[in-house]
């Protein structure tokens, strides 16, 4: 019986560790990109993980907000428009997530805000806020992002669809 | 002795599980209401749980921000003004909470922000920010909200009283 | 073997408890200062713990944002400009942190926002947002802040340096 109790406890503790590990990684995203730590940001993703950051106002023609693979995430941090945002003052704040672990995969739901310094008002504008779905996969190097998708909460149906599917 | 150690560990793990389960439910509130998932939002509450959302500018005459029972929470999500907020773009962001579990009840303290899309400035306004106290109760269907109270952080004493009582 | 498994589990559970205890304390900071609970805010710090809050617009000449010891944190909450911020409506929101525990010390990385009520627009301005590093120490009275440092995310290098060092 003690063997059963021990084994059960080990599983319960492992489940807690998984959830806390993923929350910790999600809390690393903002500080990584806002400090231009491109390698750290990229390391959150699996090599072939995707980041679909959605669309935003002023997007350069011909570009998309979709980044395929951790190398593309690294490149995103190392180039415009991200570098300009950081130079003029910004913060990428990821909200406390709702994480659901299922074996070697997990889904997290949260908000991400991009705040940008606004000299005119001596304060920060919440320039974007998106609905987020992060899909995680367990790898030999720990949990990695297999897919992150953001949809702007601008009244369009896409953000609601994202939340609904992730909450299911 | 091992029996004692096992039993102690089981209690400690259960305490961690309770705290993480409640944090996870609190992180579900925003995505539920912002995706108009009225049933999911209602299911966070006990059948007879209350939600006192406080007051806000532009409240319809004769209405209050008090909702009695999970059915009233569902109705709140399914009607105005909530539907209008969502159609024009909004986000209900609940901050990382301070949770205190005591047996089969728990109290959580946090902030809740309501951000609304502002086309004029191509950004979001933080329209409301409230001090929150969430009282939780353990039920056969998991932790449920027995009472949630918000008070606007607009300089009035009510928000300070709420925080003080909850921190005690 | 069971003895080894038990001892290993006890260590894993203690590590989770440490991380959750620190997150809970960090979620207590805002509600403490926004309710003018100066003693509670001070009690988060070790007696000789420091708080370097950085600089801000409109700082009184001859003052710094550096507070040495928990008594100085208590004094900060009990005096201007903090009291004025609270009277006119404000919220100090600490984001979900990334916590790294190492024995009897820990480092947490997060954002802190100071939102202030803006009557003119019937909303709140994000007046400040800072990169935060919190250094924690284990004491007989629980985890206490040994050092907290904020740097404004206004485009200057200091915030990036803070994040980079803390993420290492």
Report the pLDDT value the prediction gives residue C56, as an integer from 0 to 100. Answer: 78
CA distance C46 to C64: 20
What tokens appear for B92 in the block? 């209900």
Length of chain A, please?
A: 168
Average pLDDT on B95-124 reads: 97
Best mutation site among B3, B7, B9, B27 for testing chain A: the one with the most A CBs within 10 Å? B27
What tokens appear for C12 in the block? 């894993």
In the block, tokens 């995707």 appear at A50
Q: Are B162 and B149 in contact (CB under 8 A)?
A: yes
CA distance C152 to C168: 20
pLDDT tens track for A33-70: 999 999 999 999 999 999 999 987 778 887 889 999 99
Phi-psi region of C36 (alpha: psi -120 to 50; beta: other; left: phi over 0): left
When pLDDT is cut at 50, 70 and 90, the band that residue B1 belongs to is low
Minimal-distance CA residue of chain A relative to C165: A35
When pLDDT is cut at 50, 70 and 90, the band that residue A153 belongs to is very high
State whether residue C24 sits within 8 Å of chain A by CB. Answer: no
CA distance A110 to A103: 21
pLDDT tens track for B4-50: 999 999 999 999 999 999 999 999 999 999 999 999 999 999 999 99
Report the pLDDT value the prediction gives residue A1, as an integer from 0 to 100. Answer: 58
Report the pLDDT value the prediction gives residue C59, as an integer from 0 to 100. Answer: 81
What percent of chain A is predicted at pLDDT more than 90?
Answer: 92
Report the pLDDT value the prediction gives residue C61, as an integer from 0 to 100. Answer: 82
Residue A26: pLDDT over 80: yes
Parent domain of A47: 3-167
Q: What is the DSSP letter of B58?
A: T
Average pLDDT on A75-80 reads: 94
Average pLDDT on A99-103 reads: 98
Report the pLDDT value the prediction gives residue B62, as an integer from 0 to 100. Answer: 79
Residues of A in contact with B115 (CB under 8 A): 113, 126, 129, 153
The pTM assigned to this predicted structure is: 0.97
CB contacts < 8 A, A to C, total 106
State whether residue C14 sits within 8 Å of chain A by CB. Answer: no
CA distance B141 to C32: 33
pLDDT tens track for C115-131: 999 999 999 999 999 99
b/e per residue, B102-139, with b = 16+ CB within 10 A?
eeeebbbbbbbbbbbbbeeeebbbbbbbbbbbbbbebe
Phi, psi of A67 (to 5 degrees): -120, 120
CATH code assigned at B31: 3.10.450.50
Residue A165: pLDDT over 80: yes
Alpha-carbon gap: C63 to the closest alpha carbon of chain B (Å): 25
From the list A161, A78, A82, the residue with the least C-alpha distance to A128 is: A82
- CB atoms A2 and C5 under 8 Å: no
Q: Are B97 and B23 in contact (CB under 8 A)?
A: yes
Alpha-carbon gap: B62 to the closest alpha carbon of chain A (Å): 28
Report the pLDDT value the prediction gives residue A64, as an integer from 0 to 100. Answer: 82
What tokens appear for B33 in the block? 């209401």
pLDDT tens track for C17-75: 999 999 999 999 999 999 999 999 999 999 999 999 998 777 888 788 999 999 999 99
State whether residue C41 sits within 8 Å of chain A by CB. Answer: no
Cβ contacts of A85 within 8 Å, gap of 6 or more:
A114, A116
ipTM computed for the complex:
0.96
What tokens appear for B21 in the block? 């389960």
Report the pLDDT value the prediction gives residue C64, as an integer from 0 to 100. Answer: 82
pLDDT tens track for C104-117: 999 999 999 999 99
What tokens appear for B84 in the block? 């209008």
Q: DSSP readout, A100-112? A: EEETTEEEEEEEE
Residues of B in contact with C132 (CB under 8 A): none
Q: Where are the beta strands (DSSP E) in chain A?
A: 45-52, 66-68, 90-94, 98-102, 105-118, 123-139, 142-152
State whether residue A15 sits within 8 Å of chain C by CB. Answer: no
Cβ contacts of B167 within 8 Å, gap of 6 or more:
B98, B109, C28, C31, C32, C35, C37, C40
Residue A8: pLDDT over 80: yes
Report the pLDDT value the prediction gives residue A119, as an integer from 0 to 100. Answer: 93
CA distance B135 to B46: 11
CA distance B163 to C17: 24
For residue C121, the tally of other CB atoms under 10 A from its CB is: 14
Q: Are B52 and B65 in contact (CB under 8 A)?
A: yes
Residues of C in contact with A30 (CB under 8 A): 95, 111
Residue A132: pLDDT over 90: yes
Phi, psi of A145 (to 5 degrees): -75, 120
Number of folded domains that form chain B: 1
CB contacts < 8 A, A to B, total 105
Is residue C115 exposed (0-12), middle (13-18) or buried (19+ Cβ within 10 Å)? buried
Report the pLDDT value the prediction gives residue C1, as an integer from 0 to 100. Answer: 58
- CB atoms C27 and B167 under 8 Å: no
What tokens appear for A147 in the block? 């897919």
What tokens appear for A21 in the block? 């590990």
């Amino acid at each position: 019986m003690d063997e059963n109790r021990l084994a059960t406890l080990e599983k319960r503790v492992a489940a807690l560790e998984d959830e806390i590990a993923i929350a910790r990684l999600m809390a690393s995203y903002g500080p990584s990109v806002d400090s231009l730590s491109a390698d750290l940001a990229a390391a959150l993703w699996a090599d072939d993980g995707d980041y679909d950051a959605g669309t935003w106002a002023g997007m350069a023609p011909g570009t998309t907000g979709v980044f395929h693979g951790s190398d593309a995430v690294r490149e995103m941090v190392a180039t415009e428009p991200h570098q300009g945002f950081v130079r003029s003052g910004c913060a990428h704040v990821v909200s406390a997530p709702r994480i659901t672990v299922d074996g070697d995969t997990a889904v997290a739901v949260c908000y991400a805000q991009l705040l940008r310094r606004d000299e005119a008002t001596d304060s920060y504008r919440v320039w974007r806020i998106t609905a987020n779905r992060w899909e995680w996969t367990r790898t030999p190097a720990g949990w990695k992002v297999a897919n992150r998708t953001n949809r702007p909460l601008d009244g369009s149906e896409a953000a609601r669809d994202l939340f609904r599917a992730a909450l299911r």
